[in-house]
Chains A and B, each alone.
Chain A
Amino acid sequence: MNRLYLTAAVAALALGTQAQAESLAIALKTEPNSIDPHFNYSAVNIAPLSNIYDPLVESDAVKKPIPALATSWTALDDLRWEIKLRQGVTFHDGSPLTPRDVVYSWCRAPLIENSPSSYATFVNKMASIEIVDDSTLIFTTKEPNPLMWSDLSQIFIISAAKMGAEETVTFGAEGCTGMGEVPQSAVFSDLGYAMGTGPYKVTEFNRGEALRLEAYDGFWGDKPDYDDVTIRTISSDGPRVAALLAGDVQLIESPPIQDIERIKGEGFKTTETKSARVIYLQLRQDMTETPPMMEAEGNPLHDQRVRQAISYAINRQGIVDRIMGGYAEAAGELLAPPMFGTTGRAVDPYDPEKAKALLAEAGYGDGFKVTLGAPNDRYVNDERVAQAIAQMLTQVGITTDVDATTASQFFSRRNKLDFGMFMAGWGSSSGDTSSPLNAMVATANKDIGAGGWNYGRYSNPVVDEKIAKALVTVDDAEREKLLQEAETIALDEFGILPLHYELTVWAMAPEVHYEPRSDQRTAAYLVEKAE
């Protein structure tokens, strides 16, 4: 095999770059932690896996729905949706896609054990999924669901037969039947299980090395421009850029901002777009005793004035200008305005004097000690932003240390509520504020799928009620008003502190074209040959 590659490489060199055009190499910043599409609800996994699997509905570059495995989704009444399944779709082993696969996939998603971030949120909204005929399904939701398309776009469809399901799989009020023995994520080490209906099939997945893909001839949609794709992960910024400049890869995501000028100078291209992602601080505020990784009397973060002080101590524009090199926008909300549900709320002012006064008023004039948790390979300049925040907090008297680790370590510790204060990011999957509000602001309640990422444990019944209502209100004007009210209350109580909206940047070789996407997805099937 190696010799073959070598020969090919020599031939390619001899013929110039033309001969290599069919294969593509991409470098990502963060590595997916499984190729089980139901293991981890995280953009890190979804982006590479979207090459292999398809959901019912897809979203385009600007978060508008486009048909995927479903050709249409029509509301029959407040709760019932008729889904028309695309005909002639086959899995990578050639077997046809059937409604049973859809039901099975929706049933399996919440059953994955040890999921760092579960898909149950979406599945729990459904009361039942019925199979009407070979091309029709009826999804019944528990409550009216104005963002049905967005929920339908979350679950990747896999083959029920391959997973060992029984002949009939049902999803009813009593739960699912006919599931057989549900294979857990570990079985995906056998690549045969990593089988979807997507444009590419997996040929190799070695963690720490590469995900190799090969175009699937029987794909139902447009054939992607490149046949052979290697998706590597290079988490260090410098080497990722170097790989692009050296020609090892043709497309990289989030090139370090300081290198963009250099990249352009060498004849490479960059594209960028405002993302639906906000970087925020969550503060553990429910408990009265001292939260983990903090040295203080009681829990200072329980006091709204302290949370306000923290927000006022942060120079958001400074971070944007100096750390982000202008490739971000200071945030006053959980989603960049003017997206749906935003209010145009002003960015909290940078006022260290006021912050000190508020701390004194709250009885923490002498400050306290806290460790700020953050990932160091997930968001643009995350570790540096965290250090800058630590500086600014220390300057108003809150002695802050930074504990920055790789994303996988950071998120699993965060999910165990190991941090009293941490920095992370949230990309709105629905393109409106309902996603961040329901995930991070609503009171944590597994049973109704609310507050699944509310690791600050902010809780306000009034806000909960508005969010819950917004989620089931179909009237757009009414829904937007509810979302705006809920967001304003939560932010004015400093339940969560937005920092900035990321601008997402891609850098690529001149022969490649990549349309920037607001969901920050980097996927091989979206890469085109430049004109």
Chain B
Amino acid sequence: MSDLTTTAPRRKDTPLRRLARQFLEDRIAVAALAVFLAVALFTLLGPFIVPQNPYDLAQLDFMDGGLPPGSQSFSGMTYWLGTDTQGRDMLSAIAYGLRISLAVSFTSLILALIIGVAAGLAAAYFGGRIDTLIMRVVDIQLSFPSILIALILLALFGRGIDKVILAIVIVQWADFARTVRSSAIVERRKEYIEAAHCLGLSRQRTMFRHLLPNSLPPLIVLATVKIASAISLEATLSFLGAGVPITQPSLGLLIANGYDFLLSGRYWIAIFPGVALLITIVAINLVGDRLRDVLNPRLQK
């Protein structure tokens, strides 16, 4: 612990800082993180830099539909990645589509995380019947393939962004609950929890201020993996026509639209959104892999 000699007490080596340092040691992970940040930036700033709002039907002209990459519109705008059949500029459509994909997956991830963590902590902390009840629900849920559950839910609810989010939350909370519970059970038996009890701290305080932070590492890894799977789940649902409305395509729906044209040689309608989806998911997964390595004590030097 070199910190003892070099740093002032205020700047001690927190677990988070140690994590960041170790993470940065891997070049691929850093590159992946950079790519992901670039994608995130692109989706945040997208509406200000792309030439068209593909969700505003008044800005589209189907007479410009199906143009190959690099074509010019009637008004002189260049379609760098071509257009789909409705005359959507593919670059703009990808920017907006990514926005929907990321917004849907992050929102649903956070909601699933909150529900999962609360349920998992409660199960670990209280044990007994509450534990059994929550964990059996989790077991039942995990025994069904997630795409199946999501499709059934959407068939019941109908299409819509809010409904996709709800479906993903319902599919994903169980994983979080299970992970948090297992690491919290280990932590619960440690002395500092007993100490907290002896000090007469409230249950909530013990659970959220003491138990939770120490159960976090596996959760962080799981969350990065799950964000990637939420993105692909959303894309799958939209591709199958059960997700977002057709006038507001996400990446999955853009790919589905282009799928019909692959045979006829208009590759750009499906390929470019596909590549965008691929890059995003691979980047997130690489970051997640590195985080897992860093946080796994067995792999520590």
Residues of A at the B interface (CB closer than 8 Å) are: 236-238, 241-242, 245, 256, 258-259, 261-262, 315, 318-319, 322-323, 376, 383-384, 387-388, 390-391, 394-395, 399-404
Contacts and interface: CB of A to CB of B under 8 A. Distances in A.
A323 B62 contact: yes
Contacts of B226: none
Contacts of B267: none
B57 A395 contact: yes
Given A383-B246, A402-B246, A258 B264 contact: yes
A322 B265 CA distance: 16
Interface residues of B, number: 24
Given A323-B85, A391-B62, A238 B263 contact: yes
B193 interface: no
B246 A404 contact: yes
B246 A387 contact: yes
B260 interface: yes
8 contacts: A236-B260, A237-B260, A238-B261, A258-B261, A319-B62, A387-B246, A387-B247, A404-B246
Contacts of B85: 322-323, 384
B57 A241 contact: no
Given A318-B62, A322-B62, A323-B65, A401 B261 contact: no
Chain B interface SS verdict (over half) = loop
Interface of B: 56-58, 60-63, 65-66, 85-87, 241, 245-247, 259-266
Given A258-B261, A383-B246, 11 more contacts: A236-B260, A237-B260, A261-B264, A262-B265, A318-B63, A323-B85, A376-B241, A384-B85, A391-B60, A394-B57, A395-B58
Chain A interface SS verdict (over half) = helix
Nearest to A390: B57
A208 B249 CA distance: 27
Contacts, number: 70
A322 B264 contact: no
B126 to A, nearest CB: 45
A259 B260 CA distance: 9
B205 to A, nearest CB: 49
B264 A402 contact: no
Contacts of A315: 63
Contacts of B65: 322-323
User: Top 5 closest A-B pairs, CB basis?
Assistant: A394-B57, A258-B264, A388-B62, A391-B57, A394-B58
B137 to A, nearest CB: 32
Contact of A241 (B60, B241, B263): B263
Given A238-B262, A262-B264, A384 B58 contact: no
